[in-house]
Structure 1
Amino acid sequence: MTRTSASVSSIGGVDAGIAQQAVEWWVMLGSGDATETLRAACVRWREAHPDHERAWRHIEKADQRMRHVSGTLGAAVAQAALRAPRSRGRRMAVKGIAGALFAGTGAWVATDPLAVQRLRADVHTGVGECRTLRLADGTTLVLNTRSAVRLSMDGDTRRISLINGEVMITTGKDAGHAPPRPLLVVTAQATLQPMGTRFAVRQGGQGTDAGWVQVFEGAVRVAPKASDHDAGSARIVHAGEQARFTSQDVASVTSLADGDGAWADGMVVAVDMRLDAFLAELSRYRRGYVRCDPAVAALRVSGTYPLVDTDAILAMLPHALPVSVASVTRYWVTIGPRG
């Protein structure tokens, strides 16, 4: 790449052509396939003109500012842009990324907190959406609301990366390979290896260093990131058990509760659940904000509720509990004491 001639347009004070060249380099280096030759070529481009280096530094600073929101944004946009063909689609992707990075990165993410998740993912679901996939190896995935996964099934190891949300996995036999290839499920905190099983993995929201695994059949080995240096921190979770894990360890294993995993069938099951916890779970499946007044937070909810209509569930609450439901709009609902 060489420096383009001066452009009459700019993005955030940086020549638009240079900004887009910098993004092209960033995309290629962030793809995971960068060679030493490519890295050296990028260094030469940066050294060719002070504006090149200035644009590059701007991207690095933007990436650092956003790590707490999205992980490494560079990897996210690289995956998205590299999937676009070298055509108008690719050019438009790079142009859009440049605009985001040089003219308001923070605003872009703040207005669409799932945008980076969608860029990084091969498959994702929206608010209140569940989606079922059957992979070539026979594995079945059910993605819960606001979830995203990245798939790598072509190598010696089958890999499912959970970027956000929750997924139910029924492992396939990988009939085309003998012996079957290992299947790994990777989250931000740990690597899980199922052993002929059906299980669910949930990753906490942005900034939450925690995940959960629930095993319905077989067993799952959970190896936190720390187990790379301490093999003793890995743990096997068996059928009928669940565990919370962080990047450091696996918390105490407990028994599954009634209704765990019911979301895969479009239901939420509450068994003597606190009202505030029930509303927090329900909020995952609807847009907007549901507030629980502390005065009623400790009330208990039991029952099985279809997730297809969360408004109907909220409307039902005053018939079952001494509460009121006040709506400014359907996107701002407060559950409080009955007046």
Structure 2
Amino acid sequence: MQPNQIDIERIHQAANFMARLWSDTSSEKDQRACNTWRTSDPANEKAWQCLIQAQEGFNDAPKDAIRIIARSRKMSRRHMLSILGLSAGGFILAGSYTKNHIMKTHSNYKNLATSTGEIKSLSLGSSNRLVMNTKTTLSMPTQNQFKLDEGEFFLDVSQATPYQIETTEGMISFHQGQLNIRHTDDITRISLFSGQDVQLIGNKMQNSLSIKPGQSLSFTAINTPNISTTNPNTIGWVTGKLMAQRMPLTDFIHELSRYRKGVLRVAPELNQLAVTGVFSLNNTDQILQQLQDTLPINIYQLTPYWVSVTAS
């Protein structure tokens, strides 16, 4: 075995230990096992420190970039190496499935809503599924119509069904596949991950537009920016995760605030810090603590419902 292969193997082992320690189910047994492994061989400790300080080895890493933590204890060697190349300026955290992700079956969906931090999954017939994100107000005037007032939802439609989706910006026609729709700040964003083409028309548009699988766009009643490629990170919430890839800390905190009651503020100058990671939405306090532990920031809580993020 070549020396570089040995190093990769040790980094992979270190990643597994880190995933255990940063998961929601970490135990004293995990900590003891990690300590034993680190002290059993200087090369193991070197691999451990390599992960902690990995961002320092990349020339393009921001000065205050935070460190890389292992994403999953099942991560492959190839995935681990890609993370090391991709995540300079970020860190990866293991998380658990959100406890608010509930499967229900109802015959009447006329008025639906989720509270702050709640993620709700419902079946639509035998093979179609609706998942609602935090702070979403949605109604179904009929079994084939949605009206989104605010928030976000994901549709997984296996059996072709002619759905009509209305937002304040316009109308969307969808039949089959995986579709995510988000309406916040007077903008509707559509991301089609698979299935049949989606048609949309803004309230003040003359012609409809078509979106193909793998495409995403945001639109207002009047116009749409350029079509872009779908980003799987944007639907991490469907499985109870907040996912980020080199996201400015200010944007990350803004997104996190959607899942947290009260006020969560962040100093604008902290946008120079980047976050890459997978975070469990079960506990937003834990996410803030993890950020403070790895970033040059302070988390100040006047009350549990009034939190400020400032530079340290």
TM-score range, shorter chain: 0.5 to 0.7
Report the Cα offset of residue 295 of structure 1. Answer: 2.8
Q: What amino acid does structure 2 have at the position aligned with 1:224?
A: G
1:280 matched residue in structure 2 = 254
- Identify which of 202, 216, 222 aligns with 2:193: 216
- Which of the residues 132, 137, 150 maps onto 1:143? 132
2:269 to 295, 318, 330: 295
Per the alignment, residue 123 of structure 1 pairs with: 112
Verify: 1:252 aligned to 2:233, yes or no. Answer: no
| 2:174 aligned residue | 194
Contact 1:126 1:145 in 2 (8 A): yes
Q: Identify the residue that residue 165 of structure 1 maps to in structure 2.
A: 151
**CA distance 1:137–1:225, shift in 2 (3 Å):** farther
> Shift in Å at residue 138 of structure 1?
4.1
Distance 2:259 2:136 in 1: 11
The answer as to whether partners of 2:131 and 2:153 remain within 8 angstroms in 1 is yes
Tell me the alpha carbon deviations over residues 262-300 of structure 1, each in whole angstroms, 9 at most, x when there is no partner. 110000111000000000000000101111112323211
Match of 1:9 in 2: none
2:27 matched residue in structure 1: none
Question: Displacement of 1:152 after TM fit?
Answer: 2.8
Q: Mapping of 1:224-239 within 5 angstroms?
A: 224-227=202-205, 230-231=206-207, 234-239=208-213
* Unpaired runs of at least 5, structure 2: 1-108
CA distance in 1, matches of 2:279, 2:287: 7
TM value normalised by structure 1:
0.57
- 1:58-79: CA deviations, max 9, x gaps? xxxxxxxxxxxxxxxxxxxxxx
Under a length normalisation based on structure 2, what TM-score does the superposition of the two structures give?
Answer: 0.62
1:75-108 alpha-carbon deviations (Å, 9 max, x no partner): xxxxxxxxxxxxxxxxxxxxxxxxxxxxxxxxxx
How far off is 1:237 after superposition? 1.6
Following the alignment from structure 1 to structure 2, what is the Cα–Cα distance between the partners of residues 161 and 253?
Answer: 23
Q: Could you say which residue in structure 2 is the equivalent of 1:264?
A: 238
Q: Give the structure with the larger helix fraction.
A: 1
Matches within 5 A, 1:311-326: 311-326=285-300
Tell me the equivalent position of 2:309: 335
Alpha-carbon distance in 2 for matches of 1:161, 1:138: 21
Match of 1:88 in 2: none
Distance 1:332 1:308 in 2: 19
| Residue 281 of structure 2 corresponds to residue 304 of structure 1 | no
Aligned CA-pair RMSD: 1.8
SS class of match (2:194) = strand
Give the superposition deviation at 1:238.
1.7
- Cα displacement string for residues 209-231 of structure 1 (whole angstroms, at most 9, x for unaligned residues): 3110111112321211123xx12
The aligned amino acid for 1:197 is G
How many residues align? The count is 203
Distance in structure 2 (CA, Å) of the matches to 1:297 and 1:121: 41
Query: Does structure 1 conserve the Cα–Cα contact (< 8 Å) formed by 2:120 and 2:131?
Result: yes
Distance 1:164 1:195 in 2: 22
CA distance in 2, matches of 1:299, 1:153: 46
**3-state SS of paired residue (2:135):** coil
User: Is the contact between residue 121 and residue 163 of structure 1 (CA under 8 Å) also seen in structure 2?
Assistant: no
